[in-house]
């Protein structure tokens, strides 16, 4: 996709056109929103906050105008574009100024945690609200796919899902979307101006001990508490679980990269992470352990990359 990055960096109009067009297209094909966000990230990372902000504002106005003429609703396309681009612009500005990729990841996680707290502040019985809206649909799906499971078991399992996981999963999906857009923008920047730079930056990602301690404290509170506090803590734990699964994947990538069959092992690693959800559990354990044990140095017997 280097050709697309080259086109985006030719000028403001090209960047605005790509961001706007892909934003509207992602209304029907959601994964394309990642490329749209990456457009804003690339411009911001390379040319600064003001230039990225200019492209963002103009692209939002263009999306609103097109939304008015195409679907008769400019508010939808305007607010959808702002929802996509403003957070990734903020993170890109922070990354450009601080030059620390993990700091940007921490800020994204912090934004998601704040969103969870705001959601529960607005609706303290958020789990019950999810259950009212979605129970009938999900119960039918579970019953059809697992007809031998008793209704009482289905009801109990879905209740746990609605109260202790669903809010965190929604926040997790948004976090992954933001980070995917940021990473793609950073990778484009490396392709155009610093070949190999993103790979080195990505493989050098490592968790911070303070964040790991906070994670363990929240997990402990979730485990021993009950009621609303437990519900909030478990949903926040879902976010941290994905963070450390990601960091564990980086550790495994580094390990496999020095093996003879790395061309097979590395693609297999990422395919497994995507297609086998249970693979996230050992990856998260590795990611959390690496914070203290520096597993890459231990396994490879060399300084971190």
Q: Tell me: the pLDDT tens digits for 32-59?
A: 999 999 999 999 999 999 999 999 999 9
Q: Using the predicted structure, report yes or no on whether residue 250 has a pLDDT greater than 70.
A: yes
Cβ neighbours, 10 Å, residue 136: 10
- Residues ≥6 apart with Cβ < 8 Å to 248: 282, 283, 284, 285, 286, 287, 288, 290
pLDDT of 304 reads 43
pLDDT of 146 reads 80
pLDDT of 121 reads 93
pLDDT of 280 reads 87
pLDDT of 56 reads 96
Q: What angle do CA 300, 239, 167 make, to 5 degrees?
A: 160
pLDDT of 1 reads 67
Q: Tell me: the pLDDT tens digits for 259-291?
A: 888 889 899 998 988 888 788 899 999 999 988
Q: Using the predicted structure, report yes or no on whether residue 196 has a pLDDT greater than 90.
A: no
pLDDT of 244 reads 93
Confidence of residue 190 (pLDDT cuts 50, 70, 90): very high
CA dist 153 → 129, 150, 234, 237 (Å): 20, 5, 21, 24
pLDDT of 262 reads 86
Average pLDDT over residues 185-200: 91
| Lowest pLDDT segment from 52-66, 231-245, 290-304 | 290-304
Query: How big is the chain by its Cα radius of gyration, in Å?
Result: 21
pLDDT of 299 reads 67
Q: Using the predicted structure, report yes or no on whether residue 305 has a pLDDT greater than 60.
A: no
Backbone angles phi, psi at 43, to 5 degrees: -60, -40
pLDDT of 138 reads 87
C-alpha span between 265 and 106 (Å, rounded): 29
Average predicted confidence (pLDDT) for the chain:
89
Q: Tell me: the pLDDT tens digits for 287-297?
A: 999 888 888 77
Confidence of residue 26 (pLDDT cuts 50, 70, 90): very high
pLDDT of 142 reads 83
Q: Residue 2: helix, strand or coil by DSSP? A: helix
Average pLDDT over residues 49-73: 92
CA dihedral 22, 27, 29, 34 (to 10 degrees): 50
Token digits of residue 281: 């559990």
């Amino acid at each position: 996709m280097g050709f697309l990055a080259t086109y985006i960096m030719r000028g403001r109009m090209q960047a605005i056109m790509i961001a706007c067009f892909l934003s509207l297209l992602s209304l029907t094909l959601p994964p394309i929103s990642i490329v749209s966000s990456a457009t804003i990230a690339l411009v911001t990372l390379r040319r600064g906050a003001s230039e990225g902000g200019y492209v963002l504002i103009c692209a939002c106005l263009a999306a609103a105008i097109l939304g008015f003429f195409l679907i008769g609703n400019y508010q939808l396309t305007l607010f959808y574009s702002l929802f996509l681009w403003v957070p990734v612009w903020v993170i890109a500005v922070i990354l450009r100024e601080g030059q620390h990729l993990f700091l940007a990841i921490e800020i994204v996680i912090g934004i998601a945690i704040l969103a969870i707290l705001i959601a529960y502040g607005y609706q303290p019985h958020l789990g019950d609200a999810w259950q009212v809206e979605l129970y009938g649909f999900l119960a039918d799906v579970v019953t059809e796919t697992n007809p031998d499971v008793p209704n009482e078991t289905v009801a109990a399992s879905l209740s746990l899902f609605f109260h202790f996981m669903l809010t965190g999963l929604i926040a997790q999906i948004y976090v992954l979307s933001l980070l995917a857009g940021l990473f793609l923008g950073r990778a484009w920047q490396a392709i155009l101006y610093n070949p190999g730079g993103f790979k080195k930056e990505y493989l050098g990602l490592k968790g911070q001990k303070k964040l790991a301690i906070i994670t363990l404290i929240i997990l402990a509170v979730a485990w021993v508490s009950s009621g609303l506090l437990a519900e909030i803590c478990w949903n926040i734990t879902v976010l941290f679980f994905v963070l450390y699964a990601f960091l564990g994947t980086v550790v495994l990538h580094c390990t496999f990269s020095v093996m003879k069959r790395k061309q097979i092992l590395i693609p297999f690693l990422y395919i497994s992470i995507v297609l086998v959800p249970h693979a996230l559990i050992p990856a998260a354990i590795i990611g959390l352990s690496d914070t203290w044990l520096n597993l890459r140095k231990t396994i490879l017997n060399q300084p971190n990359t």
